[in-house]
Amino acid sequence: MHFEIREARADEAEALLQLWKLTGSGPSITDTPEHLRMLTEQAPDLFLVAESEERLVGSILGGWDNWRGHIYRLAVHPDCRRRGLARALTNEIENRLRARGAKRIYALASTKQEMGVKFWESLPYEKSKDVPYVRTFSDPD
């Protein structure tokens, strides 16, 4: 399988939401076309997609807070798994975060998907013993 990794475009927001829904990695409260378009404008070099035969088959989103790197939304289309795509996306986002100065990268990954857990365990990432705290703000009624 041949694929190209490139920066996501604003006009791909709906296709990305569909990919995330198909892979079980979304949607969540933050997943709106407007928010995804904003991300493509604010840090285009950290929002990557994989394309094969003119369709989106993967995504990864990097975050940088000027201290640590973060990885979100690693998703690979079910038809394209086990072909090195997730590893290629992860390597590319790691390189971009390290170029910004990241000495540590956190991967926000669901522990509910066995394939995803096995993937992260196959890389030099360690499962944190710390318990994360999350606050979600709902839209006002």
User: DSSP for 47-59?
Assistant: EEEEEETTEEEEE
pTM (global) more than 0.75: yes
Q: Determine the 3-state secondary structure of 72 from DSSP.
A: strand
65: in domain: yes
Query: What are the pLDDT digits (tens) for 17-60?
Result: 999 999 988 778 888 899 999 999 998 999 999 999 999 999 99
112: in domain: yes
Q: What is the CATH number of the domain that holds 16?
A: 3.40.630.30
138: in domain: no
| Range 60-81 average pLDDT | 92
137: in domain: no
Query: What are the pLDDT digits (tens) for 93-139?
Result: 999 999 999 988 888 877 777 777 888 888 888 877 775 666 566 66
The long-range contacts involving 10-19, CB below 8 angstroms and separated by at least 24 positions, are: 10/36, 10/37, 10/40, 10/41, 12/36, 12/40, 12/49, 12/56, 13/37, 13/40, 15/56, 16/49, 16/56, 16/59, 19/56, 19/57, 19/58, 19/59, 19/75, 19/77
Greater confidence (79 vs 128) lies with 79
Reference 48, options 40, 60, 30, 31; nearest CA is 60
pLDDT grade for 140, boundaries at 50, 70 and 90 = low
How many domains is the chain partitioned into structurally?
Answer: 1
- Give the pLDDT score at 117: 81
130: in domain: no
Reference 86, options 94, 75, 72; nearest CA is 75
CA torsion sign, 31 to 34 to 40 to 41? negative
As a whole number of angstroms, the longest Cα–Cα distance in the chain is 47
Question: Which domain range does residue 84 map to?
Answer: 4-121
| Alpha helices (H) in the chain, listed in sequence order | 13-23, 33-42, 85-99, 114-121
140: in domain: no
40: in domain: yes
Q: In what order do the strands lie in the sheet with 105-107?
A: 4-7, 47-52, 55-64, 69-76, 105-107
126: in domain: no
